[in-house]
Amino acid sequence: MGCDRISALPDCLITEILLWLPTMDSVKTSVLSTRWRNLWLDVPGLDIKFLSSNANTITSFIKRFLEFNSDARLRKFKITYDTSKGHDPFGIREWIATAINRGAQHLDVVYTFVRYMSFKEFMPLDIYKSKTLVSLKLVEVGMSNPDFVVSLPCLKNMHLEKVTYSGKDPSFMEKLISGCPVLEDLTVFRSSDDNVLALRVRSKSLKRFSVRSNRWSRIHSREFALEIDAPGLKYMKLGDQKSERIVVKNLRSLFMVDIDSIFNVGRNTNLEMKKDTIRDFLNGISCVRHMIVSQLTLEVLYRYLGSNIPMFNNLYRLEVSRIARLEHMLPDFLESFPNLKHLTLCVVYLPSSFWQCIMYLNHLNVEKHEGSIVPRCLLSTLECVEIREFTGEETRTKKKIMKQKKEPLMNVARYILVNSIVLKKLILILSPATNQISDIAKELLTIRKGSSRCNIFMGLLHSESDTPFLQLIC
């Protein structure tokens, strides 16, 4: 007969375990035995999904829970509110204030709204003066501008997604961030109506920063900006499509950057000003060692700067994600990374651009000849190249990718093999829709390699999260 070791634990450990379960699952443990009947009431936290269909029941439940042991500390408060039927919240603002005043360390408030719904529940002002909050996540809520100094001395993680900020104070976000002296991780998903024209992120403690937004047309001729001044920042993910001006300062500790931004390029964009903005941004992150760049960003860089991209002398790892036609710009682009050691290229096939890709490749002569410029990294430092193949949604409906449509992929592989002098490893990972895999392997064997030490590996990718089995070709 099995032994119930969990029940043998002291109550304090059991309630600690239950703290990390949704509250309704925690309540279900009350049927296990007499001893478990009321343990869930001693759990120092709430994790509730508030649905329109169970509003009255959940409201009564939360009130009862908060009244029980009202003097006890509440370490965690997480509530997801579904307003799909348009109901207003039932006292959520007051519950949040109660949680903060009872010493909550983790506050997580997520609202889901029907389309075109204008209601925003504004957070209580208590949220700006908590002495215990360590992590804060707010989604689809409103935040009022306090008339006092923000003080969140313990806050390390803050996630603000589609939050609306009241008033027109341009320094609101700067005021909020400056009130978090130990903030290490900040995520901001900007919305079109957030009332923040200039998002200023100035922090000496910040280590990770991620910003994302969809792209909108200019609203009433207003221009949006992003300013980052964080000397301790190590990781930055830039997915801001909204800002026309992106300014970075003092990023001397930056190790990794993930860029997916078009710098809000529009029809009325001033060419010279946009060039200066993009060039200044790249100079500001030039100390980075690991970079991920999207196809859209690469297209913008190539369009505005051409081969005049600033030098990244410290960069040793580069990933270019989801590109459908980078081959025409690859040599010029790689010239900006003279000490590159690892290169990853993720090629996605979009049916509408198959033949366009081939047209771009027609002018790329992979053989060395007088007057051509081979990037310095291919001649001295590049040791490993990985080419991953993905298929677009339309392509997935077809049974196989025809061999002749794989020319972009093969030409990139050929260019790397021919021109890389110190290459040690080329990895080619194909999608499961690939046809003629054996023929591709044979074709790779016919290519004259610039490096005699280079080994070629091939693998088949069954899913994007899959780790493929690699087979040595030569």
Least confident of 79-83, 212-216, 291-295: 212-216
Least confident of 84-88, 205-209, 235-239, 370-374: 84-88
Tokens coding 377 = 């990294």
pLDDT band at 197 (very low <50, low <70, confident <90, very high): confident
Give the pLDDT confidence of 2-37 residue by residue, as tens digits: 566 777 778 788 788 888 888 888 888 877 777 777
Is residue 291, in this structure, part of any structural domain at all? Answer: no
For tokens 């313990």, what's the residue?
A: 154
Is residue 288, in this structure, part of any structural domain at all? Answer: no
Region 40-66: what's the mean pLDDT? 81
Per the model's pLDDT, the better-predicted residue between 16 and 406 turns out to be: 16
Region 55-67: what's the mean pLDDT? 82
Where in the sequence is the domain holding 387, given as residue range(s)? 316-474
For tokens 């007057």, what's the residue?
A: 371
Q: Which residues contact 372 (CB under 8 A, 6 or more apart)?
A: 365
In one letter, which amino acid is 151?
S
Is residue 8, in this structure, part of any structural domain at all? Answer: no
pLDDT for position 88: 52
Is residue 261, in this structure, part of any structural domain at all? Answer: no
Is residue 215, in this structure, part of any structural domain at all? Answer: no
Per the model's pLDDT, the better-predicted residue between 43 and 455 turns out to be: 455
Give the pLDDT confidence of 350-361 residue by residue, as tens digits: 554 433 433 333
Is residue 381, in this structure, part of any structural domain at all? Answer: yes
Per the model's pLDDT, the better-predicted residue between 394 and 107 turns out to be: 107
Neighbours of 10 (CB within 10 A): 8
Per the model's pLDDT, the better-predicted residue between 464 and 277 turns out to be: 277
Percentage with pLDDT > 90 across the chain:
36
For tokens 């949604």, what's the residue?
A: 393
pLDDT band at 333 (very low <50, low <70, confident <90, very high): confident
Is residue 58, in this structure, part of any structural domain at all? Answer: no
Is residue 279, in this structure, part of any structural domain at all? Answer: no
Nearest residue to 382 via CA among 355, 417, 347, 412: 417
Q: Which residues pair with 239 in a beta bridge?
A: 212
pLDDT for position 360: 38
> What's the total number of domains in the chain?
1
Q: Which of 31-40, 346-355, 437-446 has the highest mean pLDDT?
A: 437-446
Nearest residue to 263 via CA among 311, 233, 223, 236: 223
Alpha helices in 82-181 (DSSP H): 92-101, 172-178
